[in-house]
Chain A
Amino acid sequence: MILLTAFAATAQQTKPVKPVPAGKPAPAKPAADTVKRDTVKNRYLPTGIRFGTDVLALVKSNVQDDFQGWEVNADVDFHRYFLAVDYGSWARTYPEDSSNYSNDGTYWRVGADVNFLTKDVERNMFFLGLRYGHSKFSESLGVITADPIYGPLTRDYVNTDITARWYELTTGLRVKIWQMIWMGYTARFKFGLKSNGATDMLPHDVPGYGRTDRESYWGFNYQIFIRLPFRKMPPLPPAKKKK
């Protein structure tokens, strides 16, 4: 009993209560949370959807004899992030004496953009983004040729329902022109092309991507958009006061 009592007394001595020095006030309770709270409610809820089309594709279709195509675009905002979707059609025809090539197909891209103009009152955009592209197309090639040893060849090659996929790094601008009208451009660095389904003929031109003999490819869209708002845009965060 004496031993137990002595042990208990020693144990209590290992957690001494720090005495408050005389003349000093006792420490106050921890200060209230000093981090500013985000007061913008629902900032990640979309405020509108933007529909657009690629003007360059329409111009090319009217100017170039060997190209017919169009592309529509849409994006939805989630604060400074945008979900972007593109859909298009693309057909090329090269009539030649010795080889007659044509292709026709559709493509889509889906991805996200990040807006770096977060303080712009009009919510104009300078963005960087990523896309995943997918195309489904058919192509045909008529060959009339001759080999000096094995003689002549006349044959029609056809690829149907070829699929291809690729990736894109994107950058560009979106600028509000007037009320719901927006304009902008998108530069695309396309890479990582893979195609499936080709048998006797290798693809030459993938709708949405371009020529297959290049490991990477630059694309450019000049676009006009109409923005349909869902709700009022949340206010911009207050500008920092200069010290």
Chain B
Amino acid sequence: MAAACLEEPECFSLNNNFVGIAFKKLSNNTRDTVVFTGITADGTDFVWLADTAAMTGIDSLRLNYFKDSTVFHFQSGNVASELHLSYLTQAQFVSEDCGQRFVLSNLKVTKSSGFDSVRVVGTVPKKKGTSGTNIEIYRCPLTNLAKFTFVSPVQLKQITANYAPGAITYSEEERSDVYVPLDSTAQTSTFVFNFLDGSTRTLKVDYTRTGRKLFNACGWQTVLSGLKVDTVATTFTEATVGKTNIQDPPLTNIAITF
């Protein structure tokens, strides 16, 4: 009798109907931080994420093991993404005490939209509470995001670009690094920096645009290189070019002395 009890499997977490997702950068295969405002699935009113959250991965998205597929919807502001997953679901009787379990395998991504690249790294979904990644979602490198570094920390109010409406606003705290996108459609970008003390400075950057296929999944991208500071239009005391090309993650392109 004792041996029979010992042989009986535990009845909780019998189903392996959870997938782990990792968000990564294609440029260096490291974790990427993404911001979602909502995550839902077809066939249920349940909402995994109802508020804005930054994350580098999702530990356990629950698959519908009554079917052979589940569609997840990811919302990030106005941008919607979808992930269509298919898998093989097989029921199996476990014991009189536990009833049945559902064994999932052969996980595939049948369709995705809104994501640059998706690949399955683990075809067997996992049980609740276990670690592991089944799906990696990659982001293509940003080829126009420049990094400006102030030699001494400053209190920025906002930065306005000549090519885009609106401005990037900042909190009142001191900062050294700012990340601003350059205009990929032109060979120059001009930024007006408004500081908290009311002063204003201008930075004009010239660069070369080249079309390159960095990754097959990303297609042709406009790569910016040969960054130069237009010293005539720039009103900072000093602006020295560091990295002349744009990298992801960005390295300091221009060191600025206020």
Residues of A that sit less than 8 Å from B by CB: 94, 96, 98-99, 101, 139, 141, 143, 145, 147, 149-151, 153, 155, 157, 198-205, 213
Binary contact readout B221-237 vs A (1 if CB under 8 angstroms, 0 otherwise):
00000000000000000
A103 to chain B, nearest CB (A): 9
Residue B44 CB within 8 A of the other chain: yes
Give the docked Cα–Cα distance between A150 and B96 (Å): 24
Given contacts A96-B99, A98-B99, contact A204 B64 (CB under 8 A): no
B66 at the interface (CB under 8 A from A): yes
Supposing A145-B99, A149-B62, A151-B44 touch, asked if A202 and B94 sit within 8 A by C-beta, the answer is no
* Contact call A101/B93, Cβ cutoff below 8 A: yes
Residues of B within 8 A of A200 (CB): 89-91
Which residue of chain A has its CB nearest to the CB of B43? A150
Identify the B interface with A (CB < 8 A).
9, 41, 43-44, 46, 62, 64-66, 89-94, 96, 99-100, 103
CB contacts (< 8 Å) of A98 on chain B: these are: 99-100
- A97's nearest neighbour on chain B, judged by CB, is B99
Q: Given A99-B99, A141-B100, verify A213-B90 contact (CB < 8 Å).
A: no
Contact B92 A202 (CB under 8 A): yes
Residue from the list B46, B65, B66, B91 in contact with A141, Cβ < 8 A: B91
User: Cβ of A139: which chain B residues have Cβ within 8 Å of it?
Assistant: 93
Q: Is B92's CB under 8 angstroms from A204's CB?
A: yes
**A226 shortest CB reach to chain B, Å:** 34
Q: Are A147 and B65 in contact (CB under 8 A)?
A: yes
Whether B66 contacts A150 by the Cβ 8 Å rule is: yes
Chain B residues lying within 8 Å of A202, measured Cβ to Cβ, are 90-92, 103
**Can you sample 14 A-B contacts with CB below 8 Å?**
A139-B93, A141-B91, A143-B91, A143-B100, A145-B99, A147-B64, A150-B64, A157-B91, A199-B90, A200-B90, A201-B91, A204-B94, A205-B93, A213-B9
Which residues of A have CB within 8 Å of B99? 96, 98-99, 143, 145
Cα separation A202 to B101 with both chains bound (whole Å): 10
